[in-house]
């Protein structure tokens, strides 16, 4: 029975919030694959952050809000000398990890990058570890960080499985804010009531629009949106731990709750009654499914829906690199999500626009036989007018099977196929890649390459002796788990 909007009865906390709180407080991670994957995710995310320090547009966002601020037991920002309060440190670390669009990915009805939550997790854990040590207490270990990562991945990913926030114009970082709030509140010592309060404030908070990810407004905010979200989560957790009351019916309150205000847009693409869309549908209980099935970006800093297109284009590169002027057309066969969010024609305004363009990434791979972060920059684009000429010759079509298997829990493919047709009537073979290198189905092939990626990213910022020490710890799972968080962070400070 739906309560009347004018009733003054204060409800119990919404079930969605209670389920998250109980999971965070009570669930124990037992699956070895989850712990192992979290270890790879931790190192890969930090490596992505270190690599981002090469880009001034990223580093301009880092550091204290007030120059010269001194923070007792301040959280460190990897690759820098900054010691910041946990809120700003979460912003900096989250921004570094996400800047190059190179960290892990989750694809479902909603998309996202669950390692974005590491910004808040590691900032809070580093601060708490130092503070507890100073008090003569036992510092937090990296086991707590990895556990928080697994749970944050799970919360964000399970909520994303069947709930398309993009369909109502909201950006996926709303789920970063919610997941980060839950796990950092637990790290900070929240009881159940405090954790529920924090979660309610995460849902009632203002939520970003997706417009900065799409034409004509695509821009660099998408590179710091996750840092903003995980930072806000730390602030909200702190507010709740100070005793701030929660908002129990934040999702379900008639007229004023999240469902009625922000989640009630009719979905024209699926046979779902509008009233059914005003509630989240949770496909599975929380466990460690998301971490175990996370997608790593191993070879290319590219929006994940394009990863297999880039891989196919690189395979075709030897056959087209000397015949670029002879190309008549290029056909990209893809899935619905790629068509909807990264298929773009016309002028691309900036690097953030280019790294979310399926045609641009495919063209660079065909021309260069590779794809690196530098390929999105204005200088490269200006020097290579053939990129846009190839884009003009591309057609993008959907394969319904690709779209269907993208959503199937036992497949979760991200398929693309590329074929190039020449003016003389000849063509290349159609190269099809259904599962990207970072997919769970290609873990055995991918993990050694992920390790190579991490080593290269470490070397971009840290001295060789430090890189060797970090790699030694990375390869010692038990030793890593037992390492105090502040000692772990020492390795990453210049």
How does pLDDT run across 186-214, given as a tens digit for each residue?
999 999 999 999 999 999 998 999 999 98
- The answer to whether 327 and 421 are in contact (CB under 8 A) is yes
Four-residue CA torsion sign, 470, 471, 476, 477: positive
Q: Residue 272's pLDDT is what? A: 43
Q: How far apart are CA 103 and CA 50, in angstroms?
A: 12
Longest dimension (CA), the chain: 77
CA 194 to CA 51: how far, in whole Å? 37
The whole-model pTM stands at 0.88
Task: Give the pLDDT confidence of 421-440 residue by residue, as tens digits.
Answer: 999 999 999 999 999 988 99
Q: Are strands 106-107 and 327-334 parallel, antiparallel or unpaired?
A: unpaired
d(CA 81, CA 485): 17
For residue 115, what are the contacts with CB-CB under 8 A and spacing of at least 6? Answer: 41, 44, 45, 97, 103, 104, 149, 153
Residue with tokens 């063209």: 363
* pLDDT value at residue 299: 82
Please, what is the Cα angle at 398 between 394 and 404, to 5 degrees? Answer: 150
Q: Which residue has the higher pLDDT, 444 or 331?
A: 331
pLDDT of residue 277: 54
Bridge partners of 112, per DSSP, are 106
Q: Does residue 269 have a pLDDT over 50?
A: no
Scan for tokens 């990129």, then name that residue: 387
pLDDT digits (tens, 9 = 90+) for 102-130: 999 998 899 999 999 999 999 999 999 99
The pLDDT of residue 410 is 86
Structure confidence by residue, pLDDT tens digits, 43-91: 999 999 999 999 999 999 999 999 999 999 999 999 999 999 999 999 9
The pLDDT value given to residue 214? 87
Provide φ and ψ at 264, rounded to 5°.
-115, 10
Would you say 151 and 287 are in contact if contact means Cβ atoms under 8 Å apart?
Answer: no
Q: What are phi and psi of 105, to 5 degrees?
A: -140, 150
pLDDT value at 4 more than 90: no
C-alpha separations of 144 from 125, 166, 464 in Å: 8, 32, 28
């Amino acid at each position: 029975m739906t309560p009347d909007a004018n009733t003054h009865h204060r409800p119990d906390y919404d079930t969605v919030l209670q389920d998250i709180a109980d999971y965070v407080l009570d669930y124990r991670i037992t699956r070895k694959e989850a712990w192992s994957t979290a270890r790879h995710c931790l190192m890969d995310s930090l490596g992505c952050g270190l690599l981002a320090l090469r880009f001034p547009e990223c580093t301009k966002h880092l550091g204290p809000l007030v120059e010269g601020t001194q923070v007792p037991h301040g959280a460190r920002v990897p690759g820098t000398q900054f010691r910041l309060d946990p809120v700003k440190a979460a912003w900096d670390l989250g921004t570094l990890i996400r800047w190059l669009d190179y960290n892990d990915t989750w694809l479902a009805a909603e998309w996202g990058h669950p390692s974005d939550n590491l910004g808040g997790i590691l900032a809070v854990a580093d601060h708490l570890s130092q503070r507890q040590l100073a008090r003569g207490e036992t510092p937090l270990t990296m086991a707590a960080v990895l556990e928080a990562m697994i749970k944050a991945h799970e919360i964000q990913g399970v909520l994303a499985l069947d709930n398309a926030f993009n369909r109502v114009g909201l950006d996926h970082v709303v789920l970063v804010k919610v997941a980060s709030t839950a796990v950092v509140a637990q790290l900070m010592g929240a009881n159940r009531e405090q954790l529920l309060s924090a979660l309610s404030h995460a849902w009632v908070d203002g939520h970003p629009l997706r417009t900065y990810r799409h034409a004509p407004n695509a821009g660099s905010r998408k590179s710091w949106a996750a840092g903003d979200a995980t930072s806000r989560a730390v602030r909200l957790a702190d507010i709740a731990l100070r005793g701030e009351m929660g908002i129990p019916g934040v999702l379900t309150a008639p007229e004023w709750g999240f469902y009625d205000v922000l989640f009630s847009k009719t979905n024209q693409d699926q046979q779902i009654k509008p009233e059914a869309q005003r509630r989240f549908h949770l496909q599975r209980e929380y466990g460690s499914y998301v971490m175990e099935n996370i997608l790593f970006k191993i070879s290319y800093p590219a929006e994940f829906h394009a990863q297999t297109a880039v891989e196919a284009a690189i395979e075709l590169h030897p056959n087209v690199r000397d015949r670029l002027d002879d190309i008549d057309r290029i056909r990209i066969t893809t899935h619905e999500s790629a068509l909807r969010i990264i298929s773009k024609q016309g002028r691309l305004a900036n690097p953030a626009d280019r790294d979310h363009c399926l045609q641009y990434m495919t063209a660079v791979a065909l021309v260069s036989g590779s794809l690196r972060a530098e390929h999105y920059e204005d200088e490269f684009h200006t020097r290579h007018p053939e990129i846009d000429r190839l884009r003009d010759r591309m057609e993008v079509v959907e394969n319904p099977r690709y779209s269907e298997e993208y959503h199937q829990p036992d497949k979760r493919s991200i398929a693309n196929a590329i074929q190039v047709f020449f003016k003389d009537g000849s063509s290349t073979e159609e190269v099809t890649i259904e599962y990207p290198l970072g997919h769970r189905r290609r873990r055995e092939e991918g993990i050694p390459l992920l390790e190579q990626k991490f080593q290269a990213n470490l070397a971009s910022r840290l001295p060789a002796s430090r890189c060797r020490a970090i790699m030694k710890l990375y390869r010692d799972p038990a030793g890593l788990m037992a390492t105090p968080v502040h000692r772990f962070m020492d390795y990453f400070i210049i």
